[in-house]
Amino acid sequence: MDRHELDELADASLRGDVPTPEAAEALLTDPDVPTLAMLDAAFRVREASWGRGVQVHILNNAANGKCPEDCSYCSQAKTSEVDIEDYSMKPREEILAEAEQAWRNGAFRYCMVFSGRGPSTRRTEELASLVREIKERYPLEVCVSAGLLDDPKAAVLAEAGLDRLNHNLNTSEEHYAEICTTHTYQDRIATLEAAKRNGIETCSGLIAGMGEPASDLVEIAHTLRRLGAESIPVNFLLPFEGGDLTPVGITPEYCLRVLCMFRFVNPTAEIRIAAGREFHLRSMEVMALYPANSLFLEGYLNARGSASNRTYEMIRDAGFEIVSEFSASELLDPGRAVEIKTREDLRPTEAAHK
Ligand code: SF4
């Protein structure tokens, strides 16, 4: 695929024409795709809907671990041996205080994530009441990720003013049984459809690097387009000590290709650089802002991310704009200065012999 074909792909995407599976797959597999031309073409599509804006999402891991499901990528699964901090739902005041903190740290969206198969009717009412209160107190968009939902539960959350429901597809239908046996791909689709029917925007993404062929990622991109997902978090599998899966085939350049492919197939969606931003993209991280228009700040569910300041600097330095009621200079630490080396830094062998 050459520059000219990439430009044509961008033009077609902007007209609303969905790229063929073959063209989308070539973005991932053709060794001759010129990286900068691909990013430039994807940026044209991104810019048409999102300009240079970057939405910042902050996650609250509001209930962690103790999950009866067996999703093999997840450190909270019943089968996982990853050493994480388990706790059931945080107290209400703690979640509210963290919502305030997220708003003050420049979050556009506050995402509350609850481990588990899905909420009970009582838990759904609690979530609805939390959503209502957060929206009354802070100018934040609110997203909830709480597992499987049916229509009555989605209706309760919609009535409370929930902006978005997160429920990731994670992988293709064909590959699904290999990563999880306690629920099905169709269960996940049904949850997304219930949210849509009840007027809640959907956030649904994937995890690349679980050994899936490139065609699976293409299939997910097309399925999410068909489902009308407003938001697509693109995760790259994180390796946890004691975890069931290790990342396969993930290079910084491949991450960029995946993000661009999702942008061409879903031109108006909010495409998010999600877990693995720092770990897998590394020195190429900033380039991901060309196809993607949002990211998570302050880490992921059980994995630390880079410091907020560093992320905000990256956004600003590349000429992108943080979408927040606070300005970049308010969000960045103005009193920053270099650290002075200590004697141990300057004379390490002397320190070692002490
Ligand atoms: S249902 Fe959610 S919390 Fe539970 S194992 Fe699967 S991904 Fe993890």
- Name which of 324, 290, 309 is nearest 50 in CA terms: 290
Lowest mean pLDDT among 182-186, 229-233, 258-262, 339-343: 339-343
pLDDT band at 261 (very low <50, low <70, confident <90, very high): very high
Q: What is the pLDDT of residue 295?
A: 96
Average pLDDT, the chain: 93
Predicted confidence (pLDDT) per residue in 205-235, tens digit? 999 999 999 999 999 999 999 999 999 999 9
Average pLDDT in the 183-192 region?
A: 96
Residue nearest to atom 3 of ligand 1 (CA): 115
Query: Is the beta carbon of 146 within 6 A of some atom in ligand 1?
Result: no
Q: How far is CA 95 from CA 61, 128, 258, in A?
A: 9, 13, 33
How far is Cα 296 from Cα 21, in angstroms, rounded to an integer?
29
Q: Give percent of the chain with pLDDT exceeding 70.
A: 99
Residue 120 has pLDDT above 90, yes or no: yes
Torsion angles phi and psi, residue 201, rounded to 5 = -65, 150
36 pLDDT above the threshold of 90: yes
| Distance from the alpha carbon of residue 260 to the mean position of ligand 1, in angstroms | 27
Q: Ligand 1, from 59, 64, 69, 185: best to mutate by most atoms within 8 Å of Cβ?
A: 69
Q: Is 69 in the pocket of ligand 1 (CB under 6 A)?
A: yes
Q: What is the pLDDT confidence band of residue 244, given thresholds at 50, 70 and 90?
A: confident
Average pLDDT on 29-42 reads 96
Long-range contacts, 87-94 (Cβ 8 Å, 24+): 87/63, 88/63, 89/62, 89/63, 89/114, 89/123, 89/126, 90/60, 90/62, 90/63, 92/130
Domains, the chain, ordered by start: 52-331 (3.20.20.70)
Ligand 1 centre and the CA of 115: distance in Å? 6
pLDDT at 325: 84
Q: Does the Cβ of 244 fall within 6 Å of ligand 1?
A: no
pLDDT for 84: 87
- 291 CA from centroid of ligand 1 (Å): 28
Q: What pLDDT is stored for residue 277 in this prediction?
A: 95
At 42, the pLDDT band (50, 70, 90 cuts) reads very high
| CA distances for 298 relative to 36, 101, 262, 328, angstroms | 28, 12, 24, 16
Q: Is residue 99 very low, low, confident or very high in pLDDT (cuts 50, 70, 90)? A: very high
Q: Is residue 242 pLDDT above 90, yes or no? A: no
pLDDT of residue 354: 76
pLDDT, position 4: 96
Mean pLDDT, rounded, for 23-38: 96
Ligand 1 near 62 CB (within 6 A): no
Residues 22-46, mean pLDDT to the nearest whole number: 97
Cβ atoms of residues 343 and 351 within 8 Å: yes
Amino acid at 218: V
Active-site residue list: 67, 71, 74, 111, 143, 203, 272
Helix, strand or coil for residue 181? coil
Long-range residue pairs from 322-326, CB within 8 A, at least 24 positions apart, any chain: 322/53, 322/54, 322/56, 322/106, 323/53, 323/54, 323/55, 323/56, 323/108, 324/56, 324/106, 324/107, 324/108, 325/139, 326/104, 326/106
- What pLDDT, on the 0 to 100 scale, is given for residue 240? 86
Kindly give the distance from the C-alpha atom of residue 76 to the centroid of ligand 1, in angstroms, as a whole number.
Answer: 6
Q: Does pLDDT of 132 surpass 80? A: yes
Q: pLDDT per residue over 139-175, tens digit each? A: 999 999 999 999 999 999 999 999 999 999 999 999 9
Q: Which atom of ligand 1 is nearest to the CA of 76?
A: 8
pLDDT of residue 37: 97
pLDDT tens string 43-81 = 999 999 999 999 999 888 989 888 898 989 888 888 888
